[in-house]
Amino acid sequence: MNKTYDVAVIGGGPAGLAAAIKTADKGLKTVVIEAMNRLGGIPIQCIHTGFGLHYFKEDLTGPEFVYRFIDKVMDRDIDLLLETYVEEIINESMMSKKIKIISPKGSWIIESKTIIYAAGARERHRYEIGIPGFNVAGVYTAGEAQAMMDLYGIMPGKKILIIGSGDVGLIMARRFVLEGAEVVGVVEILGYPSGLTRNIVQCLQDFGIPLLLRHTVTEIKANNGRVSSAIISEVDESLNPTPGTEKEVKCDTIIIAAGLRPRTKLLKKMGVLIDPRTRGPIVNDYLESISVPGVFIAGNALVINDYVDYAVEQGETAAESVHEYIENKGVLSAEWRKVIPGSNILFVVPHYVSGRKDVVLYSRVSRPLENTYFQIGGIGKKIPLIKIMPSTMLRIVLRKTELSKYIGDIVVEAVEK
Amino acid sequence: MRVGIIGAGIVGLSIARWLSRYENIEVHVIDKNPDVGWGVTKANTSIIHPCHEEDPDKHPLRMRLCLEGHDLWYEWVRELDIPSRWPGEIIVAFNDEEIHVLKHYLSLAVRNKVPGVKLLDKEELLSIEPKINPSAIMGLYAPSAGSIDPIQAAIAIAENCADNNVYFHLGEKVIDVIIRDRRVVGVVTSEKVYDFDIVINAAGLYADEISRMAGINDYYIFPRRGQYILYDSTAEPKPEKIIHTTPTPKTKGVYVLKTTDDTLLIGPTAEDLSPDKKNELRTTREGINYLLRNAEKLLPRLPPRNLVIKTFAGLRPEPSTGSFIIRFHEDPWGFIDVAGIRSPGLTAAPAIGKYVVELIHKHIDLKPKNKWKRYRKGIVRIKDLGVEDRNKLITKNPSYGRIICQCRGVSEAEIIEAINRMKKIGVKEITLDGIKFRTHTMYGRCQGSFCRVLVSLIISRYVGIKPWEITFRGGNSFYGIGEVKSLFKEVIR
């Protein structure tokens, strides 16, 4: 138990597994710490397809996708700690991190030179998005409903209203219909859906499920401890309910699909700075925290991704960074260049670039745009976008050669033609 | 001599604890809910009041019981291992009118012999509690104020009662009180008929209905709704002291406090509802906005909205008479009302128990038990232990190391322990809420979206029912409607 690892990967989902495979292949002593009693993370409960289109150029289900990584992990010399809860991470020095854990085997401290933090995201819940009314049975987040149905065989309800048009909610709308339930509608407060277009088409339109844009649920009604209906209202420009537009919709189940948030509690506690735009950590192009050296972040803990493929890519980037970090006993000093989200940009990750290597930028626009250029100031890179929604994550590769053309901060903008 | 207590809230349970000291009486507690403390007790501001807001002229009994109850809690939290903190409270004034009210409460503190109460000028106020809005101009500090976890308190008292041979009949609704020859002789519940020599009505919101069953019809209870907002433990600003706005004749004002659980609580509203609205446990947009406006007065800024982990409502049982109704009836003999226990009812509860025993003692000679168990220990939480103790426990029982709730670090063993303790106090239906209140799983940042399904599987395994047959809180509040594919089976049938 008392060995020191080169890297401790926290989280055994796609990002963490991809990272661990790569660090092990580079000869680094690797441990994967996973809270559940199995590897795989959330994709295990995602029985729909759409996984791996970018990475494997194949259309796989969640379990099919993630088992390709699990199998590789099993073939390698990687220590696995399942059912292991990380209580705290302590940053002792650039080359020493201590991880306090509790597991059925005991409670002890794992020592590692570096951390790849890939603990995923949590879902926003009813109280966070402020839906008043009775606190009763029948209200679930989309992810909880998915776990109930597709991991444990529990049917949550039969007449379903979905709040929010996030991808998990859209996928669950279809799942419910396929299990014989009725989905009365999807309510979205904004004027446009927050999930991917492919999911709007395949999960709602193909099944005739109505999408109510610019609507919100203003109250949950109950009967004998269970949801009996919801009051929905139209909202005005400032997203407040418009009086007089209330409609009562009968349902026994309400699914909250109001988006995900990176899980950052342990990171914050050790001093990792958080970007209020992504609500994930502020990182450089090594995906290393800018405030705690040797802590690398990947997957949905870094930024909420559209595709699992991106989470895997981030895991692999973090793994390469760890390899370099251990060789050099830190990320080599650099004249860091800030990446600044300009007009119409919700966020860009990473937040700093070294200019030493190619970098993948992940970004979202802040509102739906048409006939736009996504442009990167200074470098002169311009990408035309015919139509772009905030729900689509933009992935842009900046080559080292492009970055070397210009030395100042990098302003990312979406400019209308 | 058999005594039946109707209502397993903090009041009924406190009475039961006092009565459990005597050997010549057998105590039975009946509640319509599947578990203890699920009525008024559950949703509460959780304050143990110093009693400088009680007017001894208007409510002499209430003042006395509040003062005595406050001091009894010092002992009870230790004896029963109830989470508590005693930071003191500050009433905050923002204008001259409110300063006037503070001075009035200071004079009540002097009259009621409340210790340590004093006025704080602006500078003192902000140095004692730097997280108060700097626009405050004066404060009234009462250092003896505390906060307990009210539902954990109810559970702790119930467990201690069970250890002292109190019988619990949970999930049974009282539908009649039997009177014979102008004496109470028993009650009829939805399940059984019980013979009792004394019946104590501690039915909270429904005390008026129980009284009517005994032919007493001189008061009614109306619900006063209090809504609350609970923020995650990481929310800031989180003052150390309990702070609240200056009270009005109707309410003690809006409180901002750090709970025993380290979360941040803001509330309550004070909305009078009609007597038939005893199920209106819902939050409203207006109520939540009212709380935010008041909290904005008290704090330099509000914590971010995304750190809200729960909004909820409670109903306080307001008596039409305005005062606590505690009386031993001669007609029907043996019927005792303990009704209208509104604020500061939580504070007064242990003293109410003692007072009720005194009332009984006037009619019946009570003989103390030789052996009465004073102490009860709470569930051991793996997270609260040092590494050595943790490993001792995990070696003996590995499920102490199996963490089910990621937000709070709650182990499987704690959940199983909660199930066993529920069974010990006679809980027939193991509910998700029952587990939540005892272990604080499903209580954190994710509100159970990760762990609820895992908790349901553990209950399923230990109780031998299907996960979808488990309820949140009894009634129709089932976790699911059946197994996946059950809707197709329905169609085929």
Of B310, B437, B454, B452, give the one whose Cα is nearest residue B34: B437
Q: Within an 8 Å CB–CB cutoff, is residue B447 touching chain A?
A: yes
Q: How confident is the model at residue A378 (pLDDT cuts 50, 70, 90)?
A: confident
Q: Which residue of A has its CA nearest to B382?
A: A102
Residue B320's identity, in one-letter code, is S
How far is Cα B306 from Cα B298, in angstroms, rounded to an integer? 20
Which of A85, A227, A231 to probe the B interface (max B CBs under 10 A)?
Answer: A85
Active-site residue set of B: 49
**Chain B contact set for A158 (CB, 8 A):** 481, 487
pLDDT at A1 over 60: no
Asked whether the beta carbons of B85 and B241 are under 8 A apart, the reply is: no
**Chain B contact set for A105 (CB, 8 A):** 394, 398, 401
Q: Kindly state the tokens that stand for B334.
A: 């043996």
Q: Which residues partner with A230 through β-bridges?
A: A220, A249
**What's residue A407's pLDDT?**
83
Question: A105 CA to chain B: closest CA distance, Å?
Answer: 7
CATH superfamily of B89-143+222-317: D-Amino Acid Oxidase, subunit A, domain 2 (3.30.9.10)
Q: What's the angle, vertex CA B463, arms to CA A126 and CA B261, rounded to 5?
A: 45
Question: A321 CA to chain B: closest CA distance, Å?
Answer: 28
Residue A66's identity, in one-letter code, is V
Q: Which residues of chain B have pLDDT under 50?
A: none
The topology (CATH level 3) of B1-83+146-220+320-378 is FAD/NAD(P)-binding domain (3.50.50)
Asked whether the beta carbons of A253 and A243 are under 8 A apart, the reply is: no
DSSP assignment of A327-357, as one string?
HHTSPPP---EEEEE-TTEEEEE-SEE-SSS
**What's residue A379's pLDDT?**
83
Tens digit of each residue's pLDDT (9 = 90 or more) over A310-358: 999 999 999 999 999 999 999 999 999 999 999 999 999 999 999 999 9
**What's residue A78's pLDDT?**
98
Which of A102, A122, A279 to probe the B interface (max B CBs under 10 A)?
Answer: A102
Burial label, A178 (beta-carbon count in 10 A; 0-12, 13-18, 19+): exposed
Q: Which long-range contacts (CB under 8 A, 24 or more apart) does A49-54 make?
A: A50/A198, A51/A308, A51/A309, A52/A308, A52/A309, A53/A307, A53/A309, A54/A307, A54/A309, A54/A310
Q: Which of A179, A219, A225 sits opposite B476 (nearest CB)?
A: A225
- Strand A182-188 to strand A211-213: parallel, antiparallel, or no bridges (unpaired)? parallel
Q: Kindly state the tokens that stand for B410.
A: 């709650």
**What's residue B250's pLDDT?**
64
How far is Cα B437 from Cα B106, in angstroms, rounded to an integer? 37
**What's residue B248's pLDDT?**
76
Tens digit of each residue's pLDDT (9 = 90 or more) over A145-192: 999 999 999 999 999 999 999 899 999 999 999 999 999 999 999 999
Do B387 and A107 count as a contact with CB atoms less than 8 A apart? Answer: yes
Q: Indicate the angle between helix axes B412-424 and B432-439, nearest 10 degrees.
A: 110
Question: B449 CA to chain A: closest CA distance, Å?
Answer: 5
ipTM at complex level: 0.96
Tens digit of each residue's pLDDT (9 = 90 or more) over B211-249: 999 999 999 999 999 999 999 999 999 999 999 999 877
Tens digit of each residue's pLDDT (9 = 90 or more) over A19-35: 999 999 999 999 999 99
Asked whether the beta carbons of B110 and B119 are under 8 A apart, the reply is: no
Tens digit of each residue's pLDDT (9 = 90 or more) over B154-173: 999 999 999 999 999 999 99
How far is Cα B225 from Cα A39, in angstroms, rounded to an integer? 47
Q: Within an 8 Å CB–CB cutoff, is residue B288 touching chain A?
A: yes
Asked whether the beta carbons of A209 and A195 are under 8 A apart, the reply is: no
What residue ranges do the domains of chain B occupy? 1-83+146-220+320-378, 89-143+222-317, 382-492
**Chain A contact set for B234 (CB, 8 A):** 265, 268
Average pLDDT of chain A is 95
**What's residue B310's pLDDT?**
96
**Chain B contact set for A35 (CB, 8 A):** 403, 406
Do B398 and A147 count as a contact with CB atoms less than 8 A apart? Answer: no
